[in-house]
């Protein structure tokens, strides 16, 4: 089996950061990037669709399940079940996390991970956080996250600190239970990225017990400083925190939980670390620039920023209809996606001829009309979202709620 290294993630409204994040981890040597879109509405979903079509990522749709059930575990399980045969090992990280090594060449990340898995009986590798604060940035800047934020939490805190948190890359066919930080595996040792046996905070490893009985807290007993870390840009600038992170709430808890920690101004202040200043090397930034530009060129050629003339004309419990054409009057290669209550329900394409489209200069050949029929009639309260696939431009009247 080819030893492909894969990243799994779930994104919600991460549009400004996506290309940097993908380019960075491709430079790290991850062979496959699988992203679940969690009902984004800021252009994230459309950009991920374009990147999926271009072969840069694999996209799945993961709607919010309920107010008391996180979508994250479900997305992780779907990623493992759907892509396990293609992935030797999987690392689950978030959009604000970047794997980094101690060297100038990011490609050594891949080599380091594979060499660690060559150690007999290793099933999982824990990577400690390096957690960054705001670096006194108040507003969003159109530049790389890894360049804008340089001040981070130190590793010398006594007891358990935020950098004791782990993100774990594990051999995919060993997964027993998904977890944000330390997935449980059926067998095999957990190690740090320096090759040492990993001990979880709160419970030392007991050689006499089977591995599944070890206490998996998601926190390591000590912080391994290298050769690999996960840079965690936990708050970014004050504006980004208030406008993007805070409204999302928590992925693992709801406000009714006794230990719920709201992401409010106190959260920001407590996470605004300024212990150490560390710059990403100029060589890494240069390589990142080149990779991001390469992906941008593909996005531009794909037509992600194309504009359209389009209208949704009729919507009822049985289906909807409308028309669409680009600014040159063509409707070929356009997909119209349909989501009902956040769940992907299929797509349609323009295939109906209307002569008046030619007369009005809307369409070159008149084939611009589309229709979609729901498999079962919708009921009152059902929400419909009609979306142009892989395009930033969208219908002005895209959302409907059945009455």
Give the model's pLDDT for residue 249.
67
User: Which pLDDT belongs to residue 259?
Assistant: 52
Distance CA 211, CA 176 (A): 11
Residues 6 or more apart in contact with residue 389 via CB below 8 angstroms: 46, 49, 334, 335, 336, 337, 347
pLDDT value, residue 67: 52
Judged by DSSP in three states, 269 sits in: helix
> pLDDT tens digit string along 62-119?
987 765 457 888 899 999 999 888 899 999 999 999 999 999 999 999 999 999 999 9
Mind giving me the DSSP string for 120-167? TTEEEEEEEEEEE--TT--S--SS-HHHH--EE--S--SS--GGGBEE
pLDDT band for position 207 (cuts 50, 70, 90): very low
pLDDT at residue 156, rounded to an integer: 87
Residue 1 has pLDDT above 70, yes or no: no
Tokens of 200: 């979880």
Q: Report all structural domains of the chain as residue ranges with CATH numbers, in order of start.
A: 5-297 (3.90.550), 308-401 (2.60.40)
- Say how far apart CA 241 and CA 194 lie, in whole Å: 33
């Amino acid at each position: 089996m080819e030893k492909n290294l894969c990243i799994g993630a779930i994104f919600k409204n991460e549009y400004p950061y996506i290309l940097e994040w993908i380019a960075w981890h491709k430079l790290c040597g991850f062979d496959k990037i699988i992203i679940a879109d969690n009902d984004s509405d800021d252009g994230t979903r459309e950009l991920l669709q374009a990147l999926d079509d271009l072969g840069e990522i694999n996209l799945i749709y993961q709607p919010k399940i309920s107010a008391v059930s996180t979508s994250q575990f479900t997305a992780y399980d779907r990623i493992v079940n759907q892509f396990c045969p293609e992935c030797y090992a999987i690392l689950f990280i978030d959009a604000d996390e970047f794997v980094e090594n101690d060297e100038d060449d990011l490609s050594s990340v891949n080599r380091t991970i594979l060499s660690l898995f060559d150690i007999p009986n290793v099933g999982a590798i824990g990577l400690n956080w390096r957690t960054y604060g705001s670096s006194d940035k108040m507003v969003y800047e159109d530049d790389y996250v890894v360049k804008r934020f340089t001040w981070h939490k130190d590793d010398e805190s006594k007891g358990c600190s935020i950098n004791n948190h782990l993100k774990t890359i594990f051999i995919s066919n060993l997964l027993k239970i998904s977890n944000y930080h330390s997935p449980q595996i059926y067998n095999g040792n957990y190690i740090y990225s320096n090759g040492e046996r990993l001990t979880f905070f709160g419970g030392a490893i007991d050689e006499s017990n089977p591995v599944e009985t070890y206490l998996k807290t998601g926190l390591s007993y000590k912080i391994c400083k290298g050769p690999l870390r996960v840079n965690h840009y936990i708050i970014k600038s004050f504006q980004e925190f208030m406008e993007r992170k805070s409204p999302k709430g928590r992925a693992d808890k709801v406000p009714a939980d006794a230990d719920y920690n709201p992401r409010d101004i106190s959260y920001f202040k407590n996470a605004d670390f300024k212990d150490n200043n560390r710059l990403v090397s100029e060589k890494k930034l240069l390589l990142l620039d080149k990779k991001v530009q390469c992906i941008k060129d593909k996005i531009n050629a794909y037509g992600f920023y194309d504009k359209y003339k389009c209208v949704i004309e009729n919507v009822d419990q049985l289906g909807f209809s409308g028309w669409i054409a680009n600014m040159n009057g063509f409707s070929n290669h356009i997909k119209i996606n349909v989501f009902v209550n956040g769940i992907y329900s299929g797509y349609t394409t323009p295939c109906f001829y209307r002569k008046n489209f030619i007369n009005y200069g809307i369409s070159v050949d008149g084939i611009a009309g589309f229709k979609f029929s729901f498999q079962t009639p919708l009921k009152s309260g059902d929400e419909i979202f009609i979306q142009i696939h892989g395009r930033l431009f969208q219908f002005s009247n895209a959302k409907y709620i059945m009455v």
